Homo-oligomer: A and B are copies of this chain.
Amino acid sequence: VATTPLIISVSRLEALCTEAFRRAGLSDVNAASAADVLVTTDSWGVFTHGTKALRGYVRRLLAGGLRPDGRPSVIQEGPAWALVDGDSSLGLVTSVFAMHKAIEKARASGTAYVGVRNSSHFGAAGYYSSLAAEAGLIGMAMANDIPSVAAPGSAGAITGSNPFSFAVPAARHRPLFLDMSVATVAGGKVYAARERGESIPSGWLIDAAGKPTTDANAYPEYATLTPAAGHKGYGLALLVETLSGCLTGAQTTWGIRSWLAGDLGVPTMHGAAFLVIEPAAMASDLPQRVSELIDEIHGAERADGVERIFVPGEMEWERRERALREGIALPSDVVASLRDLQGLVGLDLADYADSGDPEDSADDADSTRSPAQRDVR
């Protein structure tokens, strides 16, 4: 089936995701919260980690490997830390719970670590960091995953792509905001490029003998992602593995199960970690100083031919503002993925792509500009 891109409003995409999660058994509150994670991620333009993952989460919720009625809880805690058991809930639900706990602890003690066990794939790490920054705190979020990234000298995968993110509040700007994989590129980008028929640059993958390859189709069975900046990405991967896995009681490396493939009826046992620092008591001028730093960078001399120097997260926040105004242009691979919700939970994407809901009148006005949207109906 040929699939075209689709422009859809943020509110309608949220409604679609919320209803899909609800039909998969999540409570209203958790369904809406998880939908916000995925749609916010799409609105940043990070389509590899947004609603494209909804299909996989729903499948696992229906099969029982994720517990729709799971309840993440604190199983151990101290003044500036907590360990959370996710109870095999959706990783997004557990991670929102854990980050809120970290924010609460940091407000009391100045800083906090919250480790998570018995979780699953948590989507975009940056969503959780940005929760802290929106509340005025410095947030970091990270998670482990099944091995997909090589170490210097290895022939195969040693660590997961182990995302790491941070967000820092700024007075007159959107937060500084980074969400990175420890791989040269995230595996999702290899999948997405393959699905879109795009080629893979050299340096992203090594083959089974540990030599560079450009064959995207070999991934992940016969090829492995390279670590970003070699030993630096490899080292950061092991820091994330330590804080998300070894310290939390979660599984690590080959002990974790794929959230997408294999037996959908068993827990994946991912770990995650959240670090928060409350600047208010230490340096009440932090947001101001960060804004000054951003201004300084914006005013710096540019390389020949460059129009702007961006600070981390700036592109994502601008994409989000545009998405809130004009809707999100979902790539065709995401659209194809969302169409599968029909077979899974009986949801028709077309019902959401152009709703008659009067609350969406502003969206309707926008969406009439979109030929792509009409195509999909």
Instruction: Give me the interface of A with B, judged by CB distance under 8 Å.
Output: 76, 78-81, 83, 108-113, 115, 138, 151-156, 158, 166, 168, 176, 178, 180, 184, 206, 209-211, 228-229, 231-236, 238-239, 241-243, 245-249, 252-254, 275, 277, 279, 281-283, 286, 289-290, 293, 296-297, 300-304, 306, 308-312
Q: Whole-angstrom distance from the CB of A298 to the nearest CB of chain B?
A: 10
Contact B308 A153 (CB under 8 A): yes
From residue A118, how far is it (CB to closest CB) to chain B in Å?
A: 14
CA–CA, A249 to B282, complex, Å? 9
Residues of chain B contacted by A80 (CB below 8 angstroms): 79-80, 109-112
CB atoms of B242 and A300 under 8 A apart? no
Complex contact B154–A301 (CB within 8 A): yes
Chain A interface, >50% SS class: mixed
Across the interface, do B138 and A282 meet the contact criterion of CB distance under 8 Å? no
Q: Are A232 and B235 in contact (CB under 8 A)?
A: no
Smallest distance from the beta carbon of A128 to chain B beta carbons, Å? Answer: 15
- Of B155, B246, B286, B312, which contacts A303 at CB under 8 A? B155
Nearest CB in chain B to that of A277: its residue: B113
Complex CA distance for A235 and B177, rounded to whole angstroms: 8
- Known interface pairs A115-B283, A178-B231; 19 further A-B residue pairs with C-beta atoms within 8 A, sorted by A's residue number: A76-B281, A78-B281, A80-B110, A151-B300, A151-B309, A154-B300, A156-B300, A158-B297, A178-B235, A209-B303, A229-B233, A238-B293, A242-B290, A246-B286, A246-B293, A247-B279, A247-B282, A247-B286, A253-B296
